[in-house]
Structure 1
């Protein structure tokens, strides 16, 4: 089974990752697709937001190529016609994405990509964290040697982030992956764990059962910084009052809804919104087509970090959550690039008919199609009905 969610079309296109997961809800994808819309607007990329997921559990790993082949065929019409451009995301390898593109019948050589989006995401999250800590240092006389942090979601981004924070002098006290959490108040060796994760993947954690704790224990740990780098909506109405971290940095898309961000702010927590904290992934992937990796990192450490620092100061001085400082301006950018001539009459009905032709059920949700008046541009994107 798989899903595609297009939140918004900007100039007729949308952009967002394909994730491979054992389970997911449409609500999660709707939130993450919306986050992509805002992220594209935040960095000035003229594309709407989208997200896709292919559900493959551990029992079906041997059928992964077959499932991805069917998924590629299913989304071929919206990829070929420019409505959706899929990229890397959680749980997917570059070879997996190439299988999908090959079956959309588009000439896209994914294997030629630098594939450093996770690196740039980790770096933007690092500099977002350092920006927040810079402000805390002025208010509470905190320095990096006193900083403690946990990582919820110890994958490519989370492991690199923990290594970078460790090298900056912070104490790494806990993390979790799909198996369980690991905690040590005396501090974990982030460099050693980073190398183990690179060599062995998630299974390395099975050697650390003597430090095992629940996933919730990592979320609720009393630390200065909590990085959220796994699923959507992990902090929600049920548990947000249990969160004790001073700074929450959103490496994943929509790990916290915007309403919960506001509630956390009222509880005295600083939440660095997802599309701000993790925008390094998409920003770096765009820039590294003509800049070196070091040049991209330099931009993140300078102009990007200054922007985030300014937002954090504004948040404190105006007593306003970061999301509310930027959301209205981003919506104006999105609306100014929106053109309803890209919406064709009967679009939704055609999607239902089209995807019912395949063994892989897909779902598409978008505010555009619900709110905007349909106009007749059917042939422009879809061609004759299949």
Structure 2
């Protein structure tokens, strides 16, 4: 962002104002079980609201920190700007280490308890940031470690369907297709980029995916339906490989019962092996900073699609740029979720329903327009696709801030 700001000719202070968050809330989140109170901590980063309300998911993970949450909030501002959604950027990060929790309560591992704990923490979160929710200053959504159930608990406290997106099916203001939207959007971005920008074919393309959570699993399914051959998948517990292509619908059923892709196929694979496979498309869809200076030179894929947020470090990106390896930036590739959230928010306000097909149509249009503009600027100015996408977003954020006298 700093590089793009300097290229735009902006003053140092203005660049810093665009980069830095406008507000940071530090939260103490106590929850009570079995007569004992466990305290965890979180933060809400409100990055920029020049283009609309602060928008961003609730991340619950053991390694969450304020710096990562700031980076993710900043990415949301860029994501909503490059796709021309009338939201700003924000993020909630809650640090929760289940090993510490089980030790504190002296209990054995229990998935039902983990879900209840997540729900109670989100309920406490909604109490503490209630005023930001009620006036639509900040609109949360699911992220790593949270899902529709957690959003329902937040909605229970506000009784306003527009205060949160990603709500479960059947409650007021829910949106058909919201759960699959990020994975669907990423699959469509991959298809458009391969077939219309590179002139290649997605059918039978060899794909490797890191991560099989909500994003990675739906992404794999849609790519499978589009005719791609997903040959390698890894998750937190292990990985699988099949040269002839993995049966994704069968894998879905397996993961429902086993909570991992591990041992679905006899041939296993590690993340390191996945990244060095001879692929047409490599898709990191799990966590950040997994492609770095140690492995970027070993990647053999023809293109990389950033389904995760910031999966490539600065040093890793420099190596990929030197190798002229195309990267579909995260702020476009995984924008399907926030595009759907825009529809969920507006439909919650109007109480007018929309079909899943219409939601997916809006996602396709937004992603295609953003991707085409990014590719045009990349070609004209001879810069990478991620830099071109950031440039589009920065111009729009700066313009909105200036018109609103924020700078």
Q: Deviation of residue 273 (structure 1)?
A: 0.6
> Pick from 201, 216, 219: which aligns with 1:158?
216
Q: How many residues align?
A: 338
Q: Deviation of residue 181 (structure 1)?
A: 2.0
In 1: Cα distance, 2:315 partner to 2:332 partner: 16
In 1: Cα distance, 2:121 partner to 2:176 partner: 23
> Pick from 162, 182, 207: which aligns with 1:121?
182
In 2: Cα distance, 1:302 partner to 1:107 partner: 29
In 2: Cα distance, 1:30 partner to 1:257 partner: 16
In 1: Cα distance, 2:120 partner to 2:87 partner: 30
Q: Deviation of residue 52 (structure 1)?
A: 1.0
In 1: Cα distance, 2:387 partner to 2:156 partner: 41
CA separation of 1:10/1:259 partners in 2, compared to 1, >3 Å: closer, same or farther?
farther
Q: Deviation of residue 115 (structure 1)?
A: 6.0
Q: Deviation of residue 149 (structure 1)?
A: 0.4
> Pick from 253, 266, 281: which aligns with 1:210?
266
CA separation of 1:257/1:33 partners in 2, compared to 1, >3 Å: closer, same or farther?
farther
> What do residues 331-364 of structure 1 show as CA deviations (whole Å, max 9, x unaligned)?
1211222279898xxxxxxxxxxxxxxxxxxxxx
Q: Which residue of 1 aligns with 2:250?
A: 192
Q: Which has the higher contact order (CA 8 A, sep 6+)?
A: 1
Contact kept, 8 Å, 1:226 with 1:245, in 2: the verdict is yes
1:64 correspondence with 2:104: no
> Pick from 147, 159, 174: which aligns with 2:232?
174
Q: Which has the higher helix share?
A: 1
Q: Which residue of 2 aligns with 1:100?
A: 154
Q: Which residue of 1 aligns with 2:329?
A: 273
1:332 correspondence with 2:373: no
Q: Deviation of residue 135 (structure 1)?
A: 5.1
Contact kept, 8 Å, 1:21 with 1:91, in 2: the verdict is yes
Q: Which residue of 1 aligns with 2:24?
A: none
Contact kept, 8 Å, 1:31 with 1:257, in 2: the verdict is no
SS of structure 1 residue aligned to 2:48: coil
In 1: Cα distance, 2:381 partner to 2:52 partner: 37
Q: Deviation of residue 16 (structure 1)?
A: 0.5
In 2: Cα distance, 1:212 partner to 1:326 partner: 36
Q: Deviation of residue 155 (structure 1)?
A: 1.4
Q: Which residue of 1 aligns with 2:357?
A: 294
Q: Deviation of residue 280 (structure 1)?
A: 1.6
Normalising by structure 2, we get a TM-score of 0.73
CA separation of 1:144/1:64 partners in 2, compared to 1, >3 Å: closer, same or farther?
closer
Q: Deviation of residue 271 (structure 1)?
A: 0.7
Q: Deviation of residue 12 (structure 1)?
A: 7.0
Contact kept, 8 Å, 1:247 with 1:269, in 2: the verdict is yes
Q: Deviation of residue 323 (structure 1)?
A: 2.2
> Pick from 44, 50, 64: which aligns with 1:24?
64
SS of structure 1 residue aligned to 2:91: strand
In 2: Cα distance, 1:77 partner to 1:25 partner: 24
SS of structure 1 residue aligned to 2:209: strand
Contact kept, 8 Å, 1:31 with 1:232, in 2: the verdict is no
Contact kept, 8 Å, 2:134 with 2:160, in 1: the verdict is no
> Pick from 280, 304, 307: which aligns with 1:251?
307
Contact kept, 8 Å, 1:246 with 1:268, in 2: the verdict is no
Q: Which moved more, 1:281-290 or 1:155-164?
A: 281-290
Q: Deviation of residue 17 (structure 1)?
A: 0.6
RMSD: 3.0
Q: Deviation of residue 262 (structure 1)?
A: 4.9
Contact kept, 8 Å, 1:7 with 1:48, in 2: the verdict is yes
Q: Deviation of residue 235 (structure 1)?
A: 1.9
Contact kept, 8 Å, 2:65 with 2:93, in 1: the verdict is no
SS of structure 2 residue aligned to 1:130: helix
SS of structure 2 residue aligned to 1:4: strand
SS of structure 2 residue aligned to 1:269: coil
CA separation of 1:7/1:178 partners in 2, compared to 1, >3 Å: closer, same or farther?
same
Q: Deviation of residue 151 (structure 1)?
A: 0.9
Normalising by structure 1, we get a TM-score of 0.76
Q: Deviation of residue 224 (structure 1)?
A: 1.0
Q: Deviation of residue 187 (structure 1)?
A: 2.2
Contact kept, 8 Å, 1:19 with 1:89, in 2: the verdict is yes
